[in-house]
A and B are shown apart, each in its own frame.
Chain A
Amino acid sequence: MIRAQWRWPGATLLPGRLHSDPLQRQRLRRALLQGGLLCLVLALFLLSLMLGSVNIPPDEVLRSLSRAGAGESAWERIVLLIRLPKALTALLAGAALGVSGLLMQTLFRNPLAGPYVLGISSGASLGVALVLLGAGGTLGVTLVAGLGLGGSLALAGAAMTGAALVLLLVLLVARAVGSNMTLLVLGVMLGFLTSALVSMLLYFSVPEQVQAYVNWSFGSFGTVSWRELRVMAPLLLAGLTLAALLAKPLDALLPGEQVAQGLGLNVRRARLQVMLATAVLAGTVTAFCGPVGFLGIAVPHLCRSLAGTSCHRTLLPACMLCGAALALVAALVAELPGSNLVLPLNAVMALLGAPVVIHVLLRRRNLRRVFAS
């Protein structure tokens, strides 16, 4: 009986209106979710600065961050030159992938849509494959040898070019095609085309080149140093800002294009904006971190289940935070703290994330409600 009467202690501090009015209650619930996710991300960020092949105590981490340490100690160098850029990369890339997955699932009204349905990652893969495999044995392997310094910006450039070319093609088609479903199928077909070209290149390559390509396709947040971050961060921040501005048109698209048109939405323009934001986000992440696949599809489902809503004003920030949190956890685990081993990021992410998503979806059982057909 006592248990039944227990109330959240904070509830007594709130004015009574807050928990009687459903509108206020809903706002409170959503604010609590965002606040909780934000705290989680901050904690994980700090944790990923502390843990790694060497574990650094939190006060040392904070001292390094504030540059209070006298001279450049080894720990300070590890935190500032290796772990901080890596954690920032994971944070931004996770947020970007979570949001771009949400954009695609809403635009195509399809639970299987993800950041890569437009063929963007395939375009990036083709760019990378052309550099690694097509540039002739010596250059490709030299690039791989220099990877992390000179090589990774060149690789990123190639990937960006490939992604941009595919995007351009899709956008041109989108102007002419009326239906979103046609566009979805076209994107998937483009993906097949580019993967076929990559397969051809792989088939005629020497083992070292193939290994280099496979390593890239495993995905990693660790190859991004401050130099690359200076290019990547502004692009991702621009993409995230554009996405955040799209909450209203995305909401209008939820009941379908016909209703959206009736609400005065310029559907074609909204579609181009959504696709552009997705391409910038997913294309940039693929260029710098490789094709990180799992997050984009899983995070929107996780957030919808947790928030209990499809409204983008709630979902957009939730997906950014949730994506960042998942990416940070995956990067931490892939590092295997305390050891010198590093596991492939994509594999770790799916191994960790898929059971969580399956659990949440089965427990809440609302996937069918979201995408009833």
Chain B
Amino acid sequence: MSLLAAGGLAVGYRRGRRAPLTLVADVDLSLAAGELVCLVGPNGAGKSTLLRTLAGLQRPLAGRVTLAGADLHAMDARERAQRLATVWTGPVEVGLMAARELVALGRHPHTGWSGRLRAADEAAIDAALAAVDAAELAWQPVDQLSDGQRQKINIARALAQEPQLLLLDEPAAWLDLARRAEIMALLQRLARQQGCAVLLSSHDLELALRHADRLWLMSGDGTLRAGAPEDLALGGALSTAFRSAGLHYDALEGKFVSLQPRSGGPTVALHGSGTAASWTRRALERGGYRVCEPGCERAARAAVKVLQQGWELRLGSSRRRCESLESLLSALAAAPVD
């Protein structure tokens, strides 16, 4: 049975006397416990608005959202906070506080009027810190943590609410690539181990494709398609959704490339295999060269061979050794045009 279910949902903004602005209409959604779902789509498609609606902060224009069978928007705010936790995008500033005190805020929906923490609350706080691998950060001041550590503490704060559903809006957008990957892996692990449903919006399609159990794809034309990432990629839905954003989904490579027209530049033959060859290909393509497999030397202007240390560049009868890809590119650029 699905934990979160929405039927005939329309999401958007009421605008006083004018007709409401509908971003997505007539959508059926479901989300099961233990599942990690990524909400993807081009900017302006309404990802954040949908998340705000599913978080209960905003009423839907039509339809009903239920969380474990109960109407989400009829629920008391405190009761909702016991079942559903949110992490919004951007770094959170809390003033002078130890990481553990920030996580302790997550117990608010469970404590009484004075906010006094019982033994069970302290245990939940420690468990949340341990779940995000941040037990050793507990007594560090929040403002002295790195952005990535701080976001982990934020996620621990949400976990301390002991939610059935965790909603995150761009939880890693301002972090570097390694931290983004770490946060995604962490969320995937939380869904598997803690058994809560995780829904996050993300700009990072490659990470979303790699970690999500399912994608909710908003195309920006008012539709939402749900499915396994691979199905959406193979069926062409991904490339259709992002076409307008100037992106093209390369189904073979499994990655997005920008739709800049490939220059019909000179051809370079590439000899070699493995990681070094793959990065050499990237560098050549970025330099505007057409890379071909060995055997097409006849058409190629030059040939590059990947060595143990460095590269060998063959231009006609001359051979040159290059120590870096940068010097290889500049040597190619300086070569006479035949």
Contact = CB atoms under 8 A, between A and B. Distances in A.
Contacts of A311: 97, 101
Contacts of A256: 92-93
B94 A254 contact: yes
Interface string B109-146: 10101110000000000000000000000110101000
A252 B77 CA distance: 14
A369 B96 contact: yes
Contact of B115 (A247, A304, A308): A247
Nearest to B122: A23
Interface residues of B, number: 36
Contacts of B95: 254, 304, 310, 369-371
Interface stretch (B79-87, B258-266, B326-334): B79-87
A259 interface: yes
A240 to B, nearest CB: 16
B77 A259 contact: no
A309 B97 contact: yes
Contact of A366 (B81, B93, B96): B96
Contacts of B138: 22
A372 B91 CA distance: 11
B93 A264 contact: no
A261 B161 CA distance: 13
Contacts of A252: 105, 108
Contact of B96 (A109, A265, A370): A370
B102 A255 contact: yes
Of listed B79, B82, B88, B100, residue having the most chain A CB within 10 A? B88
Nearest to A373: B93
B148 to A, nearest CB: 17
A266 interface: yes
B283 to A, nearest CB: 40
Given A258-B88, A261-B57, A264-B81, A248 B115 contact: yes
Contact of B92 (A255, A261, A370, A371): A255
B97 A264 contact: no
A313 B97 CA distance: 12
A23 B103 CA distance: 14
A369 B77 contact: no
Contacts of A266: 77
A262 B85 contact: yes
Interface string A298-327: 000000100011110100000000000000
Given A252-B105, A259-B88, A264-B109, A304 B96 contact: yes
A245 interface: yes
A255 B108 CA distance: 13
B46 interface: no
A309 B108 CA distance: 18
A251 interface: yes
B184 to A, nearest CB: 21
B320 interface: no
B115 A313 contact: yes
Contact of A310 (B96, B108, B158): B96
Interface in B55-100: 55, 57, 76-82, 85-86, 88, 92-98, 100
Contact of B93 (A26, A245, A255): A255
A263 interface: yes
Given A247-B115, A248-B113, A248-B114, A254 B81 contact: no
Of listed A26, A252, A264, residue having the most chain B CB within 10 A? A264
Contacts of A26: 98, 139
B105 A263 contact: yes
B321 to A, nearest CB: 51
Nearest to B95: A310
A245 B116 CA distance: 12
A263 B161 contact: yes
A313 B111 CA distance: 14
A265 B115 contact: no
A20 to B, nearest CB: 12
A262 B86 CA distance: 6
Interface string B132-174: 0000001101010000000000000010010000000000000
B77 A261 contact: yes
A294 to B, nearest CB: 22
Nearest to B52: A258
Given A247-B114, A310-B97, A263 B92 contact: no
B109 A263 contact: yes
Contacts of B143: 369, 372
B100 to A, nearest CB: 8
Of listed A26, A254, A263, A310, residue having the most chain B CB within 10 A? A263
A263 B96 contact: no
Nearest to A313: B115
A264 B82 contact: yes
Contacts of B141: 369
Contacts of B81: 262-264
Contacts of B109: 263-264
Contacts of B34: none
A245 B112 CA distance: 11
Contacts of A310: 94-97
Interface in A251-285: 251-252, 254-256, 258-259, 261-266
A247 B104 CA distance: 14
A273 to B, nearest CB: 12
A248 B96 contact: no
B108 A248 contact: yes
User: 7 closest A-B pairs (Cβ-Cβ)?
Assistant: A264-B81, A310-B95, A248-B115, A264-B78, A264-B109, A262-B86, A263-B108
Interface of A: 22-23, 26, 109, 245, 247-248, 251-252, 254-256, 258-259, 261-266, 304, 308-311, 313, 366, 369-373
Given A109-B93, A262-B55, A266-B77, 7 more contacts: A251-B108, A259-B86, A263-B105, A311-B101, A366-B96, A369-B96, A369-B143
14 contacts: A22-B139, A109-B93, A247-B115, A248-B115, A255-B93, A255-B94, A255-B102, A255-B105, A262-B86, A263-B105, A264-B76, A264-B82, A264-B108, A369-B143
